[in-house]
Amino acid sequence: MLDETFAAAFVYKMKAGFRFMQNASDIIRTVSRHTLAYMLFSISEMFRNYDEFDPMDLLIIHAILNANVISVMNDPSLDEKFSSIHTVEPDAIKQGVSRAALSRFLSLPLETVRRRVTGLKRRKILAETKAGLIVTEQNAFKFGNNHELQKTNMLLLTKLLRDLKRAGINGPDDLRAPESAASTRKAK
């Protein structure tokens, strides 16, 4: 069940007037539609850029890439250091991930992950470290450093943010109930 403070009415000011969202489910539905479209377009572009790969392998590679850079994303100085499109995170700082963690994260059978990882290691896309699997910075397919895919992602993200703004969602504060509505609900 939704938190009571979130279930208040939402009012958003737009250029052409006001956009009313009657309740929390309206905003959830709106955000869900737009973010799902963003994710599907992103996946479609990933598949298009790497059409020689099986979609399951691409999913595994990108899940590993994400796990590899979580510590970078959580450290503002590292995030800034490796923010340039011309900078790749060195293998030495990547956070490894286990096959079991991948299996749980992707909801795939462990044997499927093992089999696919073996093939990707053979292709020299993945490497095994003491900490787990990483996508090597030297991989021949530019996973983690595909400038065209990164530029396309910027276009898709811009579209997502523009669409959310048009729907009246300008930032994270617009996803919460106003303070006055929250205090009114608690008083009842």
Structure pTM?
A: 0.79
Q: Is the dihedral of CA 113, 115, 119, 124 positive or negative?
A: positive
- Position 26 scores a pLDDT of 83
Per-residue pLDDT of the chain (188 residues; tens, 9 = 90+): 344 333 333 333 444 444 545 567 788 899 999 999 999 999 999 999 999 999 999 999 999 999 999 999 999 999 999 999 989 999 999 999 999 999 999 999 999 999 999 999 999 999 999 999 999 999 999 999 999 999 999 999 999 999 999 998 999 988 875 444 444 445 55
Structure tokens at 35: 């973010």
Q: How confident is the model at residue 174, as a pLDDT?
A: 86
Fold (topology level) of 54-140: Arc Repressor Mutant, subunit A (1.10.10)
Q: If you write DSSP's letter for every residue of 106-136 in order, what string do you get? A: HT--HHHHHHHHHHHHHTTSEEEETTEEEE-
Domain boundaries, the chain: 1-53+149-188, 54-140
Q: What is the pLDDT of residue 175?
A: 85
